[in-house]
Amino acid sequence: MIRKRTNRVTGAVALLGVTLAPLSTHAQDPAQMFEMRDRPTLNFYGSPGIVDMPSGEALPDGQFTVGVSHFGGITRNTLTFQATPRISASFRYNGIQDWNSNGFGTYRDRSFDVRFLLHRETRSLPALTLGLQDFAGTGIYAGEYVAATKNFSLRRVPGTIKATGGLGWGRLGSSGAIGAPFGEDRPGFVVGDTGGEPGFDQWFRGDAAPFAGVEWQVNDKLGLKAEYSSDAYLPETRRGVFTRKSRFNFGAEYQVSDAVRLGAYYLYGSELGVNVQVQLNPDRPVSPLRLPAPRPYDIRPSRNANPQAYAADWAVSTEAASTAVRDALIPLLEAEGLTLIEARSTARETEVRFSNERYAASSVAIGRVARAMALVLPASVEVFRIVPVENDLAQSAVVLRRSDLERLELSPDATDALLARTRFDEATPDLAGGAFNEALYPDFAWSIGPYLAPSYFDPDEPVRADVGVKLKLNYKPAPGWVVSGEVRQRLFGNVGDSSRLGQSALPPVRTDGIQYAREGKTALNNLYVSRQWKAGEDVYARVSAGYLERMYGGLSAELLWKPVASRLALGAEANYVKQRDFDQRLGFRDYSVATGHASAYYEFSGGYTGQLDVGRYLAGDYGATVTLEREFDNGWKVGGFFTLTDVSAEEFGEGSFDKGIKLEIPLNWFLGTPDKRTVGTTIRPIQRDGGARVSVPGRLYEQVRSGHRQALEGNWSGVWE
């Protein structure tokens, strides 16, 4: 019996090849294909696909997509990220209406997908992808597939045609099954399962069924789709969510803009559907960045032509020379949105320390500082030591030869040539004998503005939010010291209206969040004093005390070892915190805990950063958090994390373990003007008490690494911009 069914699988794959063969005889050079090949459209699951079925394509590297689809009482909201050229990951939040047989109204479900591009499309062979759908959720949408896609241009047919065929398991093998090549035993979906754990025992088990589809991109706006689906929608049809009458789906899509595509569909012989696709790419900003033109490098006269220009008598007194350099550079750097902190000069070498309030790329700021130095420094100064400083932490010393800057500015390989001649040295904790900018301290700043505090994935109302106004105060009495606080006044919102108060087998270290939202109408969000400094060679330190976040106050201390040119960093953090009162004023509750972590950070090639934190969490559980982020040269960051502790899946509750997605986008990507600010969020499928950490302001690693060698090399061309 098994052999017979396996032969049917083989026959289906052979039939797919016969079906595609006539089309391929008319195929043109893939280089001439329509642009749709380079940016696949999305299916109802928010992944590259046809209508409801997947395709064999991959998104462009780094692409970030949002898909919102609805049909037959089923709504899917999906975030997809092409994390590498061959691997993409998706997070999906679903709502299924009229799920009545088990006491649900609208059933809410969260799931994760991952796709692997096995083969890129060539002139003769299709793109081939293997996918795991809902591999770490409750399993309601669990399915695996292998899909192949080929693009064609046909004679006398405008536009481009894309054909897809594949084989699916699980949900994607429930209609028209032709065999179970890897075994028939497949555990099913169980209502009430906590979910969140990979279903290894399901993958590629049970019946397999073929699916196929075709997409015709008529022109640069209009696309038409048709597919044969292998999903029987058994859980939905058995509960009366909708009636499935056919295996065929049809749709029409319209490309509204470069980023937005809309679609309307007729599905399963009974339902109308809509799909909104938004595709964003870090390499395609909403508004291209426009930097103010830099001043030309001031070129020194040759030593032979003007030897007197190279005289060193101006620097007989280091103190006087440093003061003169400081005073000359302050207005020049201010005009560039930079702040001179300190300068020290001898006849041959000048070191300048500065902070950057404008440019997201530190290399651009370094280039602007170098140009200002070339304008004001006498010809005898050959070595520029430029030290970017972030929140009073000297990051590194970028050592440039002035003659290299003069000679290479107009060279065709200027970026690589200058990088090869540049040193990245350790910056000393203090600049001995330097002339300090006395106007910087003490410094007091304040701001007032709106705030938005969203809350996601409440089954009764998936998106909640509080809106109000916040007042932020910041006082810096001396270098490295800061006293900071924020007061919030909620004006309206519904986060506290949720009826789902925390019920946990663990101390309610995070599941009491609804109580804080209810009672904290006028709230002291944080109020703390912090000092951070460079404790020695390659070592940075921080101590913070006060109301660290809305739920916890206490003491936090951190050490970080991070050499300038090393990809590796090691850190340790220790905290003793106490839970704050629900009204977020000055009082505390009875719960207190000592937490801490040892951390390792590593900068891989391609902009990837890995982080491992091992230690004790807020609920007293012990374990580790693994984080992987990708940072693009323009400042985009996308990543994910998961935490495993000695808390069992049953004790943790829904979701089984803590996990989430992190997204950060620079404002200059939207605005097109220099700006260091970013907008970002962390999305957790569910917030429970296991694996929870205190949110400490000013952790060291991100402050330090932005001015170290790996980060600077990533956008080194900015020194010329």
Output the pLDDT for position 248.
Answer: 97
For residue 7, pLDDT beyond 50: no
Sort strands 383-390 and 349-356 into parallel, antiparallel or unpaired. Answer: parallel
pLDDT above 50: residue 23: no
> Which CATH number is 445's domain given?
2.40.160
Residue tagged 């990951």 (tokens):
89
Average pLDDT, rounded, for the chain = 90
Shared-domain flag, residues 415 and 483: no
**Triad 123, 129, 132: Cα angle to 5°:** 175
Residues 379 and 484 in one domain: no
Task: With CA atoms as reference, report the closest residue to 346 among 255, 458, 432.
Answer: 432
CA 649, CA 79: separation in Å to the nearest integer?
25
- pTM comes to 0.88
Based on the domain organization, do 575 and 675 belong to the same domain?
A: yes
- Which pLDDT value is given to residue 15? 35
Same domain, 430 and 453: no
Q: What is the pLDDT of residue 497?
A: 86
Rg (CA), the chain: 30
* CB-CB contact of 674 with 640 (8 Å): no
User: What's residue 4's pLDDT?
Assistant: 38
Asked, for residue 720, whether it belongs to a domain, the answer is no
What is the per-residue pLDDT across 466-501, written as a single tens digit (0 to 9) for each?
999 999 999 999 999 999 999 999 999 999 888 777
Q: How many helices (H) and strands (E) does the chain have?
A: 11, 32
Helices 318-335 and 362-376: crossing angle, nearest 10°? 130
Partnered with residue 598 across adjacent β-strands are 572, 614
Full residue range of the structural domain in which residue 665 is found: 441-709
485 and 373 in a single domain? The answer is no
pLDDT at 701: 97
Q: Report pLDDT for 103.
A: 53
Instruction: Give the Cα separation of 283 and 222 in Å (integer).
Output: 25
Asked whether residue 654 carries a pLDDT value surpassing 80, the answer given is no
Q: Does one domain contain both 479 and 548?
A: yes
Supply the pLDDT for residue 455.
Answer: 87
Q: Which DSSP letter does residue 427 get?
A: P
The phi and psi torsions of 350 (rounded to 5 degrees) equal -130, 130
Q: What is the mean pLDDT of residues 397-417?
A: 93
Number of domains in the chain: 3
Instruction: Give residue 19's pLDDT.
Output: 38
DSSP SS3 for 312: coil
**Residue 455 half-sphere exposure, CB side, CA atoms within 13 Å?**
23
**Does residue 251 surpass a pLDDT of 90?**
yes
Residues 435 and 445 in one domain: no
E strand or H helix at 114: strand 107-119
pLDDT given for residue 193 in this prediction: 54
**Least confident range of 22-26, 160-164, 332-336:** 22-26
Q: Closest Cα partner for 322 from 298, 350, 353?
A: 350
Other CB atoms within a 10 A radius of the CB of residue 321 amount to: 23
Which secondary structure element, helix H or strand E, spans residue 671, and what is its range? helix 668-671
Share of the chain above pLDDT 90, in %: 73
- Predicted confidence at residue 36, as pLDDT, reads 54
Shared-domain flag, residues 419 and 446? no
The predicted pLDDT at position 194 comes to 54
Same domain for 483 and 432: no
474 close to 496: Cβ distance less than 8 angstroms: no
